[in-house]
Amino acid sequence: MGYLWSVLSPLLVMIVMVIVFSNLFLSDIQYFPVYLLIGYMLFSFMSNSSTRALASVVQNAGILKKIYVPKYIFTLASVTSEFVNFFFSLGALLLVMLITGTPITWRFFLVIIPIIQLYVFCIGTGLFLAQITVFFRDVMHIWSVVITAWMYLSAIFYPVTILPEKMQNIISNYNPLYFYITMFRNFTIGGPGMGGTNYAVRGAIAAGLMLLIGIISFSRNKNKFILYL
């Protein structure tokens, strides 16, 4: 099915999740299918890109041992490949918006802000994970646990307001993925408590900081890779 699956996959998952969670949250969230799909799409991009990126150097050990190739290129290619798939999935989002009667305003074009910020964040995360996986292969298993916990702490299928106030503050102030999801939702469906420009600033800081950490850690250790591959 090729890239058509990039559209069908989020649609099918959204249908299942809407059936499961609609009775719990539908009365509290306007355009719940769109709300849910946005969270799922952004999380999937972050999850898939980081998971592919962390093994990108290790899986290409044979090439690195034979010829000189910029080591970061494998990680960048992994994240960018998932980024392309993410863009195809935007077609599914537009389709759901039309079906549910979600108004499409000029603010929708501002979704490019959280999209680019998340892409930069994922590159930084990918570079950091790729270099540390060369030395500690168990990171591959640990990351799957981390990413699962991250999903439940990002208000993907529930409103953050149902959580205790302390937990709400932690998620809204220290979870970069929540910044990007909230911004995207704000530009798409809006609504009270959906965030504002402050998340754009926080998202930019988180993306820039993660990219800096990724580049520095990768650059410092890249010459040692050949000894551990």
The Cα 107–Cα 204 span in angstroms is: 19
User: In the prediction, which pLDDT does 22 show?
Assistant: 62
Helix, strand, or coil here: 210?
Answer: helix
pLDDT at 168 over 80: yes
pLDDT tens string 107-160 = 888 999 999 999 999 999 999 999 999 999 889 889 999 999 999 999 888 888
User: How much is the CA Rg of the chain, to the nearest whole Å?
Assistant: 18
The Cα 189–Cα 200 span in angstroms is: 16
User: In the prediction, which pLDDT does 193 show?
Assistant: 46
What is the pTM (predicted TM-score) of this model? 0.89
pLDDT at 171 over 70: yes
Tokens representing 68? 């000189």
The Cα 26–Cα 33 span in angstroms is: 9
Tokens representing 216? 């520095």
Q: How many residues does the chain have?
A: 229
Pick the closest to residue 147 from 125, 117, 132, 165 (CA basis).
125
Where is average pLDDT lowest: 46-55, 112-121, 159-168?
159-168
pLDDT at 194 over 50: no
Question: How does 150-166 read in b/e, with b if 16+ C-beta sit within 10 Å?
Answer: bbebbbbbbbbeebeee
The residue with greater pLDDT, 157 or 197, is: 157
| Percentage, residues of the chain above pLDDT 70 | 86
User: In the prediction, which pLDDT does 192 show?
Assistant: 47
Phi, psi of 58 (to 5 degrees): -60, -45
Where is average pLDDT lowest: 32-46, 79-93, 170-184, 186-200?
186-200
Tokens representing 76? 């960048």
pLDDT tens string 72-109 = 999 999 999 999 989 888 888 888 888 888 888 888 88
Q: Where are the alpha helices (DSSP H) in 26-138?
A: 32-54, 56-59, 61-66, 72-100, 112-135
Tokens representing 181? 């999801």
pLDDT tens string 56-71 = 999 988 888 888 888 8
